[in-house]
Amino acid sequence: MPYVELKQTFKQNTRLLRSLIVGALGRCSRGAGACCSKLRIVGAEWDRAETAYSPDGFYPEILRHDISLDAALAAPEMGHS
């Protein structure tokens, strides 16, 4: 969908949308955050620190967002922290 159409669609929306930007401290997340700002979407940042706190891997915060944007770099040479 072209940006102009997308922007018009979001302008018609009366409810404030919330997004979760995964990989928020990386380079790709800057574009995701800028896009959210232009479309009046509240962007919450999520990175390694937020992932580290849950030993069981369950994150109820994820379900509180309307949109999830994955801007995390996943490459074999990155390893796991």
What's the pLDDT at 51?
Answer: 81
Mean pLDDT for each consecutive 10-residue tract of the chain (81 residues)?
76 78 83 85 86 81 88 68 52
What are the strands of the beta sheet with 42-46, ordered from one edge?
A: 42-46, 18-22, 67-70
Question: For residues 10 and 57, what is the distance between their CA atoms, to the nearest angstrom?
Answer: 32
Q: Where are the alpha helices (DSSP H) in the chain?
A: 3-12, 28-38, 48-52
**Residue 79, token pair as written in the block:** 């390893």
What's the pLDDT at 78?
Answer: 57
Is CATH 3.40.50.880 the classification given to domain 3-74? no
What's the pLDDT at 20?
Answer: 92
* Per-domain boundaries in the chain: 3-74
pTM: 0.66
CA dihedral 46, 16, 36, 6 (to 10 degrees): 140
